[in-house]
Chain A
Amino acid sequence: MDMLAGKVKMTQQSVNTAMNPTDALERPIRLTARDVTVHYGTKQALHGISIDIPDRAVTSFIGPSGCGKSTFLRCINRMNDTIEGAKVGGTIKLDGEDIYDPALDVVELRARIGMVFQKPNPFPKSIYENVAYGPKIHGLARSKTDMDEIVVSSLRKAGLFEEVKDRLNEPGTGLSGGQQQRLCIARAIAVGPEVILMDEPCSALDPIATAIIEELIDELRENYTIVIVTHSMQQAARVSQRTAFFHLGNLIEEGVTEDIFTNPVNKQTQDYIMGRIG
């Protein structure tokens, strides 16, 4: 009982220090999802998710593992297309444009909605080439100088430049786990996305690396719409302005992070926050 109380207390503390409560409410809506369902073969993984995601704020998805939060995240840039047998229903709109419209090019969509994955996954190429890869395939750099600039400023924005500036030609796989993840963030930024999806970006990292990434997310919020899936409630409380709670493929409750953590409406959300499920 004591332990539980301590946990809640700590959560409240972090909420208080990390966030600006009014911030998220005033932002325009960037992404709207209506009644999104996902089937893997005959198994239904998501049951009608509807949510609005505001511009230039961090929205976090929390919930016990297998609750569908990652599945929903992968719907937003159509990564589910790459899984054989996955079927997505409902609509998701980016700036009012249906991203599942057959006329829309998924390549273009993914350039606008970047993604960072659970496990750092730098390509087996040099640090420079890792960051330059996206701009190169999309033809975003007109010259070598352009490319250099993109790479350097992406690495800067990802807070990695100072650490790697002398070894841009060394393989990205040689970096530490936290550095690799920031490299992946830089790689995503280099394409100039409007939305960045992060699928448990810190789950493979140690606490110090996690703290650095969280700080970075807070900085990136200025320019990007960020959606982050996390299994850590503390992390959600620390970095996000809005939080959505998923359970068994349903969106149970969604709202301003502070409200979700201090004053959840739904019984299930309450149970989860108190550590009774998950």
Chain B
Amino acid sequence: MNSLIIAGLLLVLLGLAYQSGWSRSRGLATANGVKVHSRPQYHGSYVAIWTLVPALVIIALWAWLGDGITHNFIVSQIPVETLQSLDQVGLNATIARIRSLATGYGVAGEILPYEQTAGDALRSFQFITFLVVIVAAAVAGIAALLYARSRITARLRARNAVERVINIALLACSAVAILTTVGIVASLVSEAYKFFTFIHPLDFFFGTVWNPSFSSTGGAAHGQYGLLPLLAGTLMITLIAMLVAVPVGLMAAIYLSQYAHHSFRAVAKPIIEILAGIPTIVFGFFALVTVGPFLRDVGGFLGLDIKATSALTAGIVMGIMIIPFVSSLSDDILNQVPRTLRDGAYGLGATKSETIRNVLLPAALPGIVGAFLLAVSRAVGETMIVVLAAGNSPVLRGNPFEPVATITVSIVNQLTGDSDFAGPQSLVAFALGLTLFIITLGLNVFALYIVRRFREQYE
């Protein structure tokens, strides 16, 4: 209700300000016959911006401080002796009762006399403060409106002023992306730093045992947090995924861009790219209920002991997921190799595959390597497939048929959302996140650099 009134007030002010600036500007044009610098809309917007800012500042101040002031007021209404007899929980309950009385809804049970008076007082206090805030906002807005209006002359560069405001707003929006990066780095580093006060960085980065203990006895019973088993699991799954995705993705890109009839390409390319749009949780489920059991049965048939949830299962499905990523990037890169190079090979009598293998691919190699690195970074950071299908067994071993755990899986396991960040058990998630962030960032920067160099080469 209150916010509706405030929004309404702001809208009315805004309309008023715009209209006033607009009409003033029209007045200028008709009265003097001089050339006015800006069009009336800009004068309108100019006054509107001037009006909005002070009004918003006052409302924002109230939104920020209002709760505290109201709280203090309520506490001041409670008799001192009652106040002293209440603990924190009791105080909160009393305050809630008083607030509820003030709304007129009433409370269940007996109402103490001081509660009733406090409730009544609160009601009038709320009404008055609300009025004060509204009036203050309106007065500030109108004062600013009059000031801005008085500044309107034929020579006022209202358009430039309005455009400067737009520019600042746009700049603020682009700052969000930077702030996100800063936020990521700051939160990862600060929480990881807390983690390293419990566990020595060397024990983390070079430890070979991952065995976090959730016992809350404190002391030395934090468990062991060796990164290496997780890193090994991550690398193994990534390797398997790339072994699936690179040959299939690259050959698919080659076929689509060099061999396929354009109508076939128009159908097949979007279908393959569907794979890129499917949520990873779906791939995870597919891996868990279909691919895993299938691989286990195949293993049984071949006399191999393949677990249903294993590095192999997660890796293969992740590879499938990355196929469109590899193929569309490779496709882009192949298309950037100038046609003249291909013509040169054809002109010598090279067959299509000779042209592709001997000329096109070597020319595109840097770009394709860049694309592969991007795919690797994608695989390293992939979470849901691994959570569901890799089996979560953080043990250092080299057998892809066995369950493994990865960095991402352990982040999910350690940070369940409802634990506080007090102990190393949950803080380790940030140390893992930092490791993951650095690995993927390194891969991305390097890959984007390579791809950029490649593009420049043929521009």
Contact = CB atoms under 8 A, between A and B. Distances in A.
Given A79-B343, A137-B358, A107 B351 contact: yes
A110 B343 contact: no
A79 B346 contact: yes
B349 A107 contact: yes
A82 B348 contact: no
Contact of B346 (A110, A138, A188): A110
Nearest to A120: B340
Interface string A85-128: 00000000000000000000011111100111111011111000
Nearest to B350: A137
Contacts of A26: none
A102 B246 CA distance: 37
B350 A121 contact: no
Contacts of A114: 347-348
A119 B347 contact: no
B345 A82 contact: no
The B contact surface, by secondary structure, is helix
Contact of A82 (B346, B359, B362, B363): B346
B354 A137 contact: yes
A205 to B, nearest CB: 15
Given A123-B363, A125-B362, A117 B350 contact: no
B455 interface: no
A117 B343 CA distance: 8
B349 A191 contact: yes
A84 B264 CA distance: 13
Interface in B328-367: 338, 340-351, 354, 358-359, 362-363
A116 to B, nearest CB: 8
B262 interface: yes
Contacts of A118: 340
Interface string A157-190: 0000000000000000000000000001001100
B349 to A, nearest CB: 4
A82 B350 contact: no
A230 interface: no
A130 B44 CA distance: 69
A86 to B, nearest CB: 13
A109 B351 CA distance: 12
A133 interface: yes
20 contacts: A106-B349, A110-B349, A114-B347, A114-B348, A116-B347, A117-B343, A117-B344, A121-B340, A121-B344, A122-B344, A123-B345, A123-B358, A123-B362, A123-B363, A134-B350, A137-B348, A137-B350, A137-B351, A138-B349, A184-B344
Interface of B: 261-262, 338, 340-351, 354, 358-359, 362-363
